[in-house]
A and B are shown apart, each in its own frame.
Chain A
Amino acid sequence: MKWKRRKLYISTDLEETSPLRKFDPRTKLFLSLCASVVVMLPLQRLFIFLGLYIIFIIWARLFSHFLKQMDKIKWILIILFLVDWLVVSLQLAAEVTLRLSVLTSVFTVLFATTTPSELGLALESLGFPYRFAFSINLAFQSLGMLEQEWQAIWEAQKSRGVLFDIMNFRTLFTKVGDLVSLTVPAIVLATKHAWVITESATARGFDSPMRKPFHQLSYSACDWVVSIISAGLVSMLILWR
């Protein structure tokens, strides 16, 4: 039977065995921000960073996770590389493709080793308003549910004869029309989901001005060491001529 499950580009599964799991979420957020700055450097320094980054993810026991993420976005990377190469130059194609793959990997590593609640707590302790931190937390935790709902919509429409396999250009325009049958239920379900969560949170006192978080984050010696080394490496790569 021809059938393929559509997967999200961002994995929401936690990598419990990674040593990064034990680090403070603020450290991991800092590492991700450092990497986001470094990927903007020229190609030569980008290659040096890539080497260091691969050593880092091997140490973090996330290399197979890295390969899986690259596999998920391979077609985007290939198309991007070819278009940039044909339209502009090989150097730009290499730079843009490398930047996108490293950035994607850095943030999937962050989400693979940090729960949405930990991320929310990190943002809150960094001074972001609780509402904002809670929304970010909810957005990431809802990814899995949105994926399931998208799959359910796909199947429900397929079962009533809406087929999305585009055979030729003549059918292309009909298929674009059929996309409404996917997008409207997707918007309705996402909105409903958001509304029910709002109700549920409100019914448990979400907007209380007296809220006190139970868990407290603590920056350990290891967190300081990793943060200082990362900051040093980023500074070296930026200042190196």
Chain B
Amino acid sequence: MKPLLYAEKVSFTYPQTQRSSGPLSLSLHQGESLLVYGPSGGGKSTLARCLAGLIPHLYHGQMNGDVWIGDRNTKEMQSWEIAREAGFVFQNPATQIVTSSVEDELLFGLENLGLPREEIKTRFDNVVDQFHLSSFLKRSPFTLSGGEQQKLSLAAIIAMHPSVLILDEPLSMLDSSAADEFINLLKEQQQEGTSLVFFEHRLPYLQDFPGLKRIPLGIASNDQPKSQITTAAHPKKVGAFSIHVQGLTVSFGKKKILDELNIEFEGGQLVALAGKNGSGKTTLLRSLAGLQPFEGTIRVIGNRQDESDFPQLNMVFQNPDTQLFNPTVREEILYKIQSPNQELYEWLIPALNLEKYQDTQPLLLSEGEKRRLALAIALMHPHKHGILLDEPSLGQDQMHKDLLIQLLKTISQMGYLVFYATHDIELAAKADRMILISEKGIIADEPTRNILLNKNAWQQAGLLLPHWISP
């Protein structure tokens, strides 16, 4: 039987960076599923675009090898012809939305197929039923949660009846329950005969996926971190302190995002904040960083003379592109620092695996590398009490996640508070203490081991505790 999708030694080189991805060879038949996995920055997204025909139709660069959909080479097809056969689901559900209502988003691809009105209506109704979208139709897609947006993106593609679905890290921005729901929808599609190609590094979520074949992308040896992180190498220690949050309330219009939260933190703690998308995780971090107006009090109490009332916590933001503008990584890290601590710089760069990029333009780094650079910026800037991190594991493969958690533990051992919000339960499980939050407030705030044993708390938070995570 002829494969639906066939790729032979496909590779691509970007002209600006000379970074190469691939080569990748694969063969996919009807109803089959493949997983292409590899490290962050390894070119998974680029190769996914090669399979979907976005490369070479939209990108300039050197593409080697060929991709065949049925018996046609994608280089000889128009991009709209490829779209009829191969659907593409992007990593970030919010940025792939092209219209202003859920209804229009579902209709967009169907209109482009040039189908008769009746056929569009039938397919539209089917997909609305299948994905339970009837109550959302008139809403703006931008008001949906991350999980709902990703479900909408899949529905909009499925409505076009592609024979192959290419998914570029579709789980990376979803919380555990949304990821589980999304995978179940994909299993249904597979049963109906759609073939799937995943480009993903959250592998445990796919371990039970029926008949999934795995294709590794190579890990270059120089991507391994060069040194182990030790507390002895960190040049600065901090005195004892505690941060008291009392009656913290944040409202957007009439809606209360945080309502009368009370939390206490001690210096030296590694604390994870887990909750569904939209539960107020980022708002809590922004309040602690002094970026969000709030009611209530946030005070630091310590044994040092120069303690100010409000804690000084540096924040690592979710999107590193909001910060980067300097010509080199080195200048980016040292920007606006009066007298940079050279010892700290020398410690951080290998610890974050950024050594070889010091003279590189930050905007040319991969997403995972940019996130590590944003962490370096936050750590180099003077911070008396610690750091706050918003979704630090986005775009990081397992090796870099391990590196990240090792670094965060080291910083907390120096006496600083490290507080991170994440929907990645694997990362949350590495903290000493975990706070589970939902729209109703704090569900549980205990040592991580206790929370991992408390199934009731996970249920109340609306989160799924993945079965491969144990206390």
Interfacial residues, chain A to chain B (CB-CB below 8 A):
1, 3, 115-117, 137-138, 141, 144-145, 149, 152-153, 155-162, 180-181, 184-185, 188-189, 192-193, 196-215
Contacts and interface: CB of A to CB of B under 8 A. Distances in A.
Contact of B80 (A117, A156, A208): A208
A204 B157 contact: yes
A201 B115 CA distance: 17
B321 A204 contact: no
Interface in B73-92: 78-80, 83-84, 87-88, 90, 92
A184 B325 contact: yes
A228 B95 CA distance: 42
Contacts of B120: 214
Q: Which 5 A-B pairs have the closest CB atoms?
A: A210-B114, A184-B325, A205-B112, A208-B80, A205-B83
Nearest to B108: A204
Contacts, number: 154
B52 interface: yes
A158 B95 CA distance: 25
Contact of A198 (B58, B87, B99, B100): B58
B232 to A, nearest CB: 28
Given A155-B286, A205-B83, 8 more contacts: A138-B98, A141-B99, A145-B94, A156-B323, A185-B321, A196-B96, A197-B96, A199-B90
A196 B93 CA distance: 11
B54 A202 contact: yes
B113 A115 contact: no
Nearest to A197: B98
Nearest to A150: B322
Contacts of A180: 325
B109 interface: yes
B109 A205 contact: yes
B82 to A, nearest CB: 8
A138 B108 CA distance: 13
B322 A185 contact: yes
Interface string B278-315: 00000000100111111000000000000000000011
Contacts of A203: 52, 54, 79, 83, 87-88, 90
A204 B160 contact: yes
Contacts of B112: 204-206, 208, 210-211
A200 B98 contact: yes
B321 A193 contact: no
Contacts of B107: 214-215
9 contacts: A115-B100, A145-B142, A161-B337, A162-B336, A184-B325, A189-B319, A196-B90, A212-B115, A214-B120
A154 to B, nearest CB: 9
B164 to A, nearest CB: 12
A149 B98 contact: no
B381 to A, nearest CB: 6
Contacts of B156: 204
A201 B101 contact: no
Contact of A185 (B49, B100, B108, B325): B325
A29 B83 CA distance: 34
A202 B92 contact: no
Interface string B113-142: 111010011001000000000000000001
B403 interface: no
A158 B57 CA distance: 40
A131 to B, nearest CB: 13
B14 interface: no
A210 B113 contact: yes
Given A1-B290, A185-B323, A214-B117, A196 B83 contact: no
A21 to B, nearest CB: 12
Contact of A160 (B111, B294, B335): B335
A206 B98 CA distance: 10
A12 to B, nearest CB: 9
Contact of B160 (A137, A205, A211): A205
B377 interface: yes
B97 to A, nearest CB: 8
B317 interface: yes
Contact of B92 (A157, A162, A181, A196): A196
A123 B153 CA distance: 26
Contact of B114 (A1, A144, A197, A211): A211
Contact of A188 (B57, B124, B321): B321
Nearest to A154: B322
Contacts of B405: none
A160 B110 CA distance: 46
Contact of A205 (B49, B54, B84, B121): B84
B315 A3 contact: no
Nearest to A3: B293
